[in-house]
Chain A
Amino acid sequence: MGKTPGTIKKTSIAVTINGESHELEVKPWQTLLDMLREVLHLTGTKEGCGDGNCGACTVILDGREVNSCLVLAPEVDGSEILTIEGLSVQGVLDPIQRAFVDHGAIQCGFCSPGLILTTRAFLAENPHPTEPEIRVAIAGNLCRCTGYDKIVRAIMSLARP
């Protein structure tokens, strides 16, 4: 049995999100996803499935991409987080965002923030991947609209020097 509502205190955390420091009161069971969306209203991070099977809620936590629905808010105390809102500076698209837009890799757009962040973390690790490597790298991000074709092409355009 879990606890009944109201018996558990909130806990306070310090976290840097998109370069800004925040001191936040969070509930122990709150996910990072809910913290971003419900507390900070950073709604660019999407909830697709809530159990780590779709990748829509991907954010970059201390340099590595994670499903924010599988991370608890108190776990990120002291961490640095990059969400989709932190990627473009003053309205100028980041090169990955630019490539997704220009290649027609965005249709409904619900998977796009997660895919763009996975791409960022992946290319930081492997700047010149092959097509099969790209396909494996984004396998954790489901997309129902594009058939992945233009997404893979967008990433390939970034992978070529």
Chain B
Amino acid sequence: MSNSTKYIGKSVPRVEAADKATGRALYGADIHLPGMLYAQVVRSPHPHARIKSLDTGPALAIEGVKAAVTARDLPALTDIGRALGNEGAMGLEWFRRLVLAHDKVLFEGQAVAVVAATTPEIADAAAGAVAVEYETLPVIGDVLEAMRDDAPLLHEDLYTATLGEKPTRPSNIAAHQEVARGDVEKAFAEADFVLETTYKIQRVSHGYLETQAAVARAEPDGRVTVWTSTQGIFNAQRQICAALSLTQSLLTVVPMEVGGGFGGKTYAAVECLCIMLSRKAGRPVKLVVDKSDALRAAGAGAGAYATVKASATKEGRLTACSLQLVYDIGALPNSHAPGGMRSLGPYKADNLKIEARNVVTNKLAALMYRAPGSTQGNFAVESHMDAMALGLGIDPLTFRMINAVEEGDDDLLGTTFGPIGLKEVLNRVARHPTWTKPLRGRNRGRGLALGYYTGLVNTNSSVLLHVHRDGSVTVVTGHVDLTGTRTALRQIVAEELQVPLENVTVQSKDTSSAPYSDHTVGSRTLYTFSLAVHSACGEVLAQMKERAAGRLGVDPGTVRYSEGMFRAGRGKSKSISWQEITRLSVRQLGGPITAMGSATSNHPPCFAAHITDVEVDPETGKTRILRYTSFQDVGRALNPGLIEGQVQGAVVQGMGWALGEELMYDQGHLQNPNLFDYRMRTASDVPFIDNVLIEVPAPQNPYGFRSVAELPIVPVPAALANALFRATGARFNNLPMTPEKIFWALREGSPSSRRRL
């Protein structure tokens, strides 16, 4: 790849932006089919209860009600289904409980039954008519409670998953992971300076504006089509087929535009309900989840407790650090630990230890939320490193520089870092005015936090390239575009094939038309797709060079391609144009030009540093964010505008998590199931978010790209906490940092009465 590029590195607007700006873009709820029925879900009012009886008869007796479905309608699990469905963070047994409660309900709002009727009003009435009798059970509302030896068990058959032997007793601890190197205890005992603190991180919502929505149409011959707002059509297909014992080739999952996902649209529960109803009713069925139900029962970002202990020499060299994480993953076991296991990634120390537990409670499942598990661990570690620096009397940036990992260091999970950009990020911060220019004024403070993330491992992306007779190119993917991937792939293909951008169209197609791709999660998409597209473009050019060689009567190895012309030797006599080859290909040169590219890859490590300035109103405790700057190593910026957009969005989500968003529970009951009391930031709560993009190319990617979109949420709560410390002199170990918490922290000798701290 030459250094001068035409499209790579340019801020091209998103290809579908005009469709979205005009209302033409279609989302899950925008599908209307003839004869379509409307579904409504019957949800549990209890966080934990046995279902004593469940009768859909009264609902079916209402005129206009065409079908009702309960867990009794789920088919028996097959071995094929098990094999299909147990891939991924949530096992098939648990996924089927996300679809419908079985013998007991495990969280408030869990679907117990679902009905379909000719109008939404009748569906509502029918849902109300379904008779359910519950026997309530003790609610496990908190992980610390759940971990007690005498705690009631949520699942009688749940045994802690560990790397060691299977435990003998069931437990509410779904998984326990531990990695270590060196001897932390010995290092703590010998250190000049040791500090230990426990941090608490609250549960949050993904906050997508579009709730889950799907339409399914089952045909009498067994074929099924489902149009849905999902982050992955093939993952959805796999989950649905496993849960409902369908044959994958009979199910077509069609991706719609997605009104925000952030990890919250990775389990196809709503799709399963629509399909079950449509197969019973013989008509298309639509289900759109109500916002309050989505907040109560669709999925959350995990809450956590995190205890950090660290030691250092008086010169500021970190000698040891341990991190204990306990994630509140809700009622359905799934994995949150991997993100947390990376929380010490930026630091080199001889003695490191991380222990993470996933603990079940009677709350909705914590699904992957943007860098799942990482923001929680990072808040603790980066708050702690700030406190360490202060305790040692060392500037927080210098402290990071002393201890930052670099190429050749090993991370805790056993991988040796290749070229990484952490040092470059820190050096840029050290020279940047956002850090060097003093912050003046009372009640103000500046905070710094690092972030580290790597994307998912072992995921696949595949593409098909078709070169048409007129020379234009279609790229077919089975990928759901959340972050501008259609735009990005178009840029890469136009660059590689040296054709005008306008001549390349990228289509996100369904499971029956496109080659396999994993879902749009884990910051994996551009990285893996660029590998697939790179290989497909290489294949297209190879085919065309061979055809050019045939036409020109030369050896294919001598053909060069640039700017729309294939040339051999010197001079104009031995050349043929791109268009000439595409025009002749089908009839005279051996058939259409088409290529598939596929790549399965891991993702490179990515580092960031965030700097923020805040001002606190000392009388009310309210925080105003004055300035925010992200420094991130992106490897190479394919489309700086798209990257900035991802960073800015992630940072503002992090600001919400830090300062005010919280799913508040009282004994398993969500107290704020609406967007009024679940307070996402509005435009008036945040400043512009400045971006410094640093480019240390990732070696395994032909373009040097790194993953981008999850990392920028990771350091935000810690950066704000560290800034607030400097503004107030108080350390906030308990998110969110609400005005009230800040007020009481400022007020010494505050009343010890029941305030929410």
Residues of chain B contacted by A111 (CB below 8 angstroms): 209
Q: Establish whether residues B676 and A51, one from each chain, have CB atoms under 8 Å apart when the complex forms.
A: yes
Residue among B25, B257, B258, B683 facing the most chain A CB atoms (10 A cut-off): B683
Q: Establish whether residues B683 and A46, one from each chain, have CB atoms under 8 Å apart when the complex forms.
A: no
Residues of chain A contacted by B688 (CB below 8 angstroms): 149, 152-153
The residue of chain A having its C-beta at the shortest distance from the C-beta of B690 within the complex is A149
Residues of chain A contacted by B258 (CB below 8 angstroms): 108
Q: Establish whether residues A44 and B23, one from each chain, have CB atoms under 8 Å apart when the complex forms.
A: yes
Residue among B209, B262, B674 facing the most chain A CB atoms (10 A cut-off): B209
Residues of chain A contacted by B16 (CB below 8 angstroms): 109
List residues of B whose CB falls within 8 A of some A CB. Answer: 11, 13-14, 16-27, 29-30, 32, 121-122, 125, 206-211, 257-262, 288, 290-291, 482-484, 641-642, 644-645, 647-653, 674-676, 680, 682-684, 686, 688-689
The residue of chain A having its C-beta at the shortest distance from the C-beta of B29 within the complex is A47
Give the 7 A-B residue pairs with the shortest CB-CB distance, closest first. Answer: A44-B23, A109-B20, A110-B259, A147-B648, A147-B652, A84-B23, A53-B675
Min CB–CB distance B408 → chain A (angstroms): 36
Q: Establish whether residues A87 and B22, one from each chain, have CB atoms under 8 Å apart when the complex forms.
A: yes
Tell whether A43 pairs with B653 under 8 Å between CB atoms, given A50-B290, A108-B210.
no
Tell whether A48 pairs with B21 under 8 Å between CB atoms, given A53-B676, A146-B649.
no
Residues of chain B contacted by A108 (CB below 8 angstroms): 20, 208-210, 257-261, 482
Q: Establish whether residues B680 and A107, one from each chain, have CB atoms under 8 Å apart when the complex forms.
A: no
Tell whether A104 pairs with B683 under 8 Å between CB atoms, given A42-B23, A53-B674, A144-B260.
no
Q: Establish whether residues B210 and A110, one from each chain, have CB atoms under 8 Å apart when the complex forms.
A: yes
Question: Scoring A residues 55 to 85 as 1 if CB is less than 8 Å from chain B, else 0, what string do you get?
Answer: 0100000000000000000000000000111
Q: Establish whether residues A144 and B641, one from each chain, have CB atoms under 8 Å apart when the complex forms.
A: no
Q: Establish whether residues A44 and B24, one from each chain, have CB atoms under 8 Å apart when the complex forms.
A: yes
Cβ-neighbour of A147 out of B27, B211, B686 (below 8 A): B686
List residues of A whose CB falls within 8 A of some B CB. Answer: 4-5, 27, 37, 41-51, 53-54, 56, 83-85, 87-88, 93, 97, 100-102, 104, 106-113, 116, 132, 134-136, 138-153
Jot down 28 A-B pairs with beta carbons below 8 A, ordered by A: A37-B30, A43-B30, A48-B211, A48-B291, A49-B674, A51-B676, A53-B674, A101-B13, A107-B14, A107-B483, A108-B210, A108-B259, A109-B16, A109-B17, A110-B27, A112-B20, A134-B683, A135-B683, A139-B682, A144-B206, A144-B209, A145-B260, A145-B649, A146-B649, A147-B650, A147-B651, A147-B686, A153-B688
Cβ-neighbour of A44 out of B22, B207, B689 (below 8 A): B22
Min CB–CB distance A48 → chain B (angstroms): 4
Residues of chain A contacted by B288 (CB below 8 angstroms): 47
A147–B686 alpha-carbon span in the complex (Å): 8
Min CB–CB distance A25 → chain B (angstroms): 14
Q: Establish whether residues A142 and B23, one from each chain, have CB atoms under 8 Å apart when the complex forms.
A: no
Residues of chain A contacted by B122 (CB below 8 angstroms): 5
Residues of chain B contacted by A106 (CB below 8 angstroms): 14, 17, 20-21
Residues of chain A contacted by B13 (CB below 8 angstroms): 101-102, 104
Residues of chain B contacted by A87 (CB below 8 angstroms): 22
Min CB–CB distance A151 → chain B (angstroms): 7
Min CB–CB distance A146 → chain B (angstroms): 5
A111–B32 alpha-carbon span in the complex (Å): 21
The residue of chain A having its C-beta at the shortest distance from the C-beta of B654 within the complex is A147
Cβ-neighbour of B21 out of A112, A142, A145 (below 8 A): A112
A45–B22 alpha-carbon span in the complex (Å): 10
Residues of chain B contacted by A27 (CB below 8 angstroms): 121
Residues of chain A contacted by B482 (CB below 8 angstroms): 108
Q: Establish whether residues A46 and B684, one from each chain, have CB atoms under 8 Å apart when the complex forms.
A: no
A152–B483 alpha-carbon span in the complex (Å): 20
Residue among A51, A108, A135 facing the most chain B CB atoms (10 A cut-off): A108
Q: Establish whether residues B641 and A104, one from each chain, have CB atoms under 8 Å apart when the complex forms.
A: yes
A43–B257 alpha-carbon span in the complex (Å): 13
Cβ-neighbour of B209 out of A44, A56, A152 (below 8 A): A56
Min CB–CB distance B103 → chain A (angstroms): 32
A84–B682 alpha-carbon span in the complex (Å): 22
Residues of chain A contacted by B652 (CB below 8 angstroms): 146-148
A50–B120 alpha-carbon span in the complex (Å): 15
The residue of chain B having its C-beta at the shortest distance from the C-beta of A109 within the complex is B20
The residue of chain B having its C-beta at the shortest distance from the C-beta of A45 within the complex is B23
Residues of chain A contacted by B30 (CB below 8 angstroms): 37, 43
